[in-house]
């Protein structure tokens, strides 16, 4: 047993850092460091830079553009880019639909979609959840009825993240209503420009515009856009959700936020001294650091086990631990960052109302603190809520 990185891994880490330093525009880094919402342009530009380097989709098989890195290198890359911080790849394409397509799709689909995902030519969104189908995803009702060479799709998706930018949506649709609910679901790729699709924004409690309702009315989808077999969509969805869970631990992001907390707690004053010198505050922060260190090692254990076993496409149920602990730590750090601001967390900085000519309310770095805390309540809800993750562990790991 050796918990240290090998010299080769350390050299690889330095290579990643050097690449980030060289290629990521500083203004993009600063916006992310400051906790601002990522914007489309920054992400598209960065994805293209990565793709040119051949690093846009490290975990994909090499023949589809992957790097051939072992899981440890993939992990190092992920962590370094999150810590930097660099824009994170659009998960809906790179981590979700991409792997589904190269695992279950046909050759024509692979050729058509995969290169465009890697280069972020196509912006994908995830059409799983519906108003009546959240945790109970398999109860989804959006119908797809075969009509010659097409499916006619009718229904409603909701909470669709960044659908306002999307070129494509991958949807779970019901193709058989006569069988057990999991057995009548198919996985369809739908062009967002198809007539009959309407996207309506849902504003989140922090004032953000990241989720949407997507209404589908008589949407004609070519049969060739079915992934894999009809009525086997639930298997592909489970495969996809398992991948989502591992990505949700976000150890690197939490490290970045902790660095940010330390930096800003050095600027904000408490009892006449910088807050970072307040032992009570430091103890709270340090307690989170301990949890994060343990989570990092837990994640590395999952990564190492994966490497040994080879990717079976079946996530270890223990990966639910990563989701639970990862989300708790993200929520703890956003709360701490808000606490750093003290009373200055209160102002709501709305650029729409104020106009850009007003100077920011001081300190300007407080603007995102409370909204991030509010917004990050989502991480224990989406991707399978923490209650659902605990149900999975209880059943699949503990045998209860």
Partner 1 sequence: MDFDLTEEQSILKDSLDRLLTDKYGFEDRKRHMAAPEGWSAQMWASYAEMGLMALPFAEADGGLGGTPVETMIVLESLGRALALEPYFPTVVLGGSFLRFGGNDDQRAEYIPAVADGSLKLALAQVERNSRYDLHHVETTAAKDGEGYVLNGQKSVVMHGDSADKLFVTARTAGGSRDEAGIGVFLVDAGTDGVSVRGYPTQDGARAAEVTFDNVKVGANDVFGDPENGLPLVRRVVDAGIAALAAESVGVMSAMHALTVDYLKVRKQFGVSIGQFQVLQHAAVDMFVAIEQARSITLYATMMADSEDENERGRAMHAAKAEIGRGGRLCGENAIQLHGGVGMTMEYAVGHYFKRMTMIDTTFGDGDHHLHLLSAGGGLFAAA
Ligand X SMILES: Cc1cc2nc3c(=O)[nH]c(=O)nc-3n(C[C@H](O)[C@H](O)[C@H](O)COP(=O)(O)OP(=O)(O)OC[C@H]3O[C@@H](n4cnc5c(N)ncnc54)[C@H](O)[C@@H]3O)c2cc1C
Interface residues with ligand X (CB under 6 A)? 126, 128-129, 134-135, 159-161, 211, 378, 381-382, 385, 387-388, 391
Is 355 one of the binding residues for partner 1 (CB under 8 A)? no
Parallel, antiparallel or unpaired: strands 168-174 and 124-127: parallel
161 binds, among ligand X, partner 1, none (CB under 5 to 8 A by kind): ligand X
Q: Using CB under 8 A, which of 20, 44, 304, 345 touches partner 1?
A: 345
Q: Using CB under 8 A, which of 71, 373, 389, 392 touches partner 1?
A: 373
User: What single DSSP character describes residue 131?
Assistant: T
Q: Compare residues 28 and 275 and give the one whose CB is closer to partner 1.
A: 275
Q: Using CB under 8 A, which of 20, 199, 381, 393 touches partner 1?
A: 381
Q: Could you give the C-alpha distances from 63 to 97, 110, 326, in angstroms and in order?
A: 17, 11, 32
Q: Could you give the C-alpha distances from 341 to 338, 352, 359, 366, in angstroms and in order?
A: 6, 23, 19, 6
Is 360 one of the binding residues for partner 1 (CB under 8 A)? no
Size of the site for partner 1 (CB under 8 A): 54
CB of 371 to partner 1, least distance (A): 7
Is 387 one of the binding residues for partner 1 (CB under 8 A)? yes
Beta bridge partners of 186: 173
Burial class (CB in 10 A: 0-12, 13-18, 19+), 310: exposed
Is 45 one of the binding residues for partner 1 (CB under 8 A)? no
Nearest alpha carbon to residue 275 among 351, 349, 343: 343
* Measured torsion, CA atoms of residues 13, 16, 17, 18, in degrees rounded to the nearest 10: 120
Q: CB-based contacts of 128: which residues, under 8 Å, 6+ apart?
A: 137, 140, 157, 171, 172, 237
128 binds, among ligand X, partner 1, none (CB under 5 to 8 A by kind): ligand X
Is 361 one of the binding residues for partner 1 (CB under 8 A)? yes
CB of 193 to partner 1, least distance (A): 26
244 is catalytic: yes
Nearest alpha carbon to residue 360 among 374, 373, 375, 348: 348
User: What single DSSP character describes residue 135?
Assistant: S
Cα(310)–Cα(360) distance, integer angstroms: 51
274 binds, among ligand X, partner 1, none (CB under 5 to 8 A by kind): none
CB of 290 to partner 1, least distance (A): 19
Instruction: Kindly provide the b/e burial profile for residues 56-75, where b requires at least 16 CB atoms within 10 angstroms of the residue's own CB.
Output: bbbbbeeebbbbebebbbbb
* Measured torsion, CA atoms of residues 301, 304, 309, 312, in degrees rounded to the nearest 10: 80
Is 134 one of the binding residues for partner 1 (CB under 8 A)? yes
Which residue among 79, 130, 244, 268 is the active-site one? 244
Q: Quick one: which segment of 114-122, 219-227, 262-270, 302-310 binds partner 1 (CB under 8 A)?
A: 262-270
Q: Using CB under 8 A, which of 165, 215, 239, 382 touches partner 1?
A: 382
20 binds, among partner 1, ligand X, none (CB under 5 to 8 A by kind): none
Residues with catalytic annotation? 244
Binding site for partner 1 (CB under 8 A): 129, 132, 134-136, 139, 158-159, 202-205, 207, 211, 268-272, 275, 280-281, 284, 331, 338-339, 341-350, 353-354, 361-363, 370-371, 373-374, 377-378, 380-382, 385-387, 390
């Amino acid at each position: 047993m050796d918990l240290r990185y090998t010299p080769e891994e350390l050299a690889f880490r330095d290579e990643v850092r050097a690449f980030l330093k060289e290629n990521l525009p500083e203004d993009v880094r600063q916006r992310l460091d400051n906790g601002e919402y990522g914007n489309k342009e920054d992400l598209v530009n960065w994805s293209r830079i990565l793709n040119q380097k051949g690093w846009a989709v490290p975990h994909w098989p090499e023949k589809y553009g992957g790097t051939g890195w072992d899981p440890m290198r993939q992990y190092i890359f992920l962590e370094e880019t999150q810590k930097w911080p660099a824009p994170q790849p659009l998960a809906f394409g790179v981590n979700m639909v991409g792997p589904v397509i190269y695992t279950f799709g046909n050759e024509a689909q692979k050729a058509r979609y995969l290169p465009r995902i890697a280069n972020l030519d196509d912006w994908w969104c995830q059409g799983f959840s519906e108003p009546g189908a959240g945790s109970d995803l398999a109860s989804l009702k959006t119908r797809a009825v075969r009509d010659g060479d097409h499916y006619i799709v009718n229904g409603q998706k909701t909470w669709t993240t960044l659908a306002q930018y999307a070129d494509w949506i991958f949807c779970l649709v019901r193709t058989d209503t006569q069988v057990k609910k999991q057995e009548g679901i198919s996985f369809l790729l739908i062009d967002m420009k198809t007539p009959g699709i309407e996207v309506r924004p849902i504003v989140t409690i922090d004032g953000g515009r990241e989720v949407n309702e997507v209404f589908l009315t008589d949407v004609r989808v070519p049969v060739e856009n079915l992934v894999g077999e009809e009525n086997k969509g639930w298997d592909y969805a489970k495969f996809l959700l398992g991948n989502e869970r591992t990505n949700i631990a976000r150890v690197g992001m939490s490290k970045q936020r902790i660095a940010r907390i330390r930096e800003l707690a050095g600027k904000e004053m408490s009892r006449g001294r910088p807050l970072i010198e307040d032992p009570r505050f430091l103890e709270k922060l340090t307690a989170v650091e301990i949890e994060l260190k343990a989570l990092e090692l837990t994640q590395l254990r999952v990564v190492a086990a994966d490497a040994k076993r080879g990717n079976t496409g079946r996530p270890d149920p223990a990966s639910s631990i990563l989701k639970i602990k990862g989300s708790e730590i993200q929520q703890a750090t956003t709360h701490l960052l808000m606490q750093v601001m003290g009373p200055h967390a209160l102002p709501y900085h709305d650029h729409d109302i104020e106009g850009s000519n007003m100077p920011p309310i001081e300190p300007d770095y407080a603007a995102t603190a409370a909204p991030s805390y509010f917004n990050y309540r989502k991480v224990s809800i989406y991707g399978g809520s923490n209650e659902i993750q605990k149900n999975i562990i209880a059943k699949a790991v503990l045998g209860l």
